[in-house]
Amino acid sequence: MNFTAGLLAAAGPQKLSLPEIWDQATVEAKIIIVILMIFSVFAWSVMASKAVQMQRAHKLNRFFEAEFRGQASVLGIFDRRLGVDGCPLFGVYKDGCTELDTRLKLPDGSRKQQLSIKSIEHIKRSLEGAVAREALRLESGLILLAIAVSGAPFMGLLGTVWGVMDAFGGIAKAAMQGARPDLSYMAPGVAAALITTVAGLLVAIPSMFGYNWLVHQLRVHTVELDNFAQMLASRMETEFLKDD
């Protein structure tokens, strides 16, 4: 009976709650945890905003592509001066048609019916630039997730190493003063040190899944932009390229 009670008494103090572990953490560990919390807020904000942006872009692209395929002329939508904010395909289409319209315009305001192959090549380069610009716009903000994925675990590890170093320093100091510190003496300090690694992983793991999903969506959108630019250039050549 006394042996069991002794075991329970020994086991009881070893279980620490999060507030108790937080109280045992060093100032440096607390600063790192606060920084990781800020990282987490930014990471979740980026994931939410980029997910909404990707889904909206996908929906608008489908609507615009269906409308574009139904036009008799490649400049049909452009001549109506329509605007589709947030649609990557429309951004490419608008830049390409603006360049096409510039090269078709005559001094009297009318349009030529044919273009040289050199003019078509200039329009293609304009389309390539528009594709790159739209891809960069979709990619903006992902660097914050990449930083969270790669940097958060190392910050957590830094806090852990610092906390363990501090805990062993306290043990050494106590031993120099004549005390005999045991595992129960150092356990709270080590547990407080390990909490920074846990915090770092809690930031990095969701960020990793979100980053990988967003990178996949970005690749899909980039391929769609490339395919649309090629289709648009092909239609421009069919309608306006001068026959040799």
Please tell me the predicted confidence (pLDDT) of residue 9.
Answer: 44
Please tell me the predicted confidence (pLDDT) of residue 178.
Answer: 62
Is this structure's pTM higher than 0.75?
yes
Q: Is residue 156 part of a domain?
A: yes
| Percent residues over pLDDT 70 in the chain | 80
Q: Is residue 207 part of a domain?
A: yes
Please tell me the predicted confidence (pLDDT) of residue 12.
Answer: 46
Q: Which domain holds residue 205?
A: 19-238
Please tell me the predicted confidence (pLDDT) of residue 11.
Answer: 45
pLDDT bracket for residue 81 (50, 70, 90): confident
Q: Closest Cα partner for 76 from 85, 84, 67?
A: 67
Q: Closest Cα partner for 46 from 201, 198, 214, 221?
A: 214
Mean of pLDDT over the chain: 83
Is pLDDT larger for residue 115 or for residue 242?
115
Is pLDDT larger for residue 116 or for residue 135?
135
| Mean pLDDT lowest among 17-31, 75-89, 130-144, 157-171 | 17-31
Q: What DSSP element (H or E) covers 171?
A: helix 142-176
Those residues with Cβ within 8 angstroms of residue 82's Cβ, 6 or more apart along the chain or in another chain: none
109-122 mean pLDDT:
84
Q: Closest Cα partner for 225 from 159, 137, 117?
A: 137
Q: Is residue 166 part of a domain?
A: yes
Q: Which residues pair with 173 in a beta bridge?
A: none
Domain count, the chain: 1
Neighbours of 237 (CB within 10 A): 15
Is pLDDT larger for residue 197 or for residue 11?
197
195-211 mean pLDDT:
92
Tokens coding 180:
């005999």
Tokens coding 3:
């042996």
- Residue 105, helix vs strand vs coil: strand
Tokens coding 17:
């709650």
Please tell me the predicted confidence (pLDDT) of residue 187.
Answer: 67
Q: Is residue 6 part of a domain?
A: no
Q: Is residue 212 part of a domain?
A: yes
d(CA 132, CA 112): 29
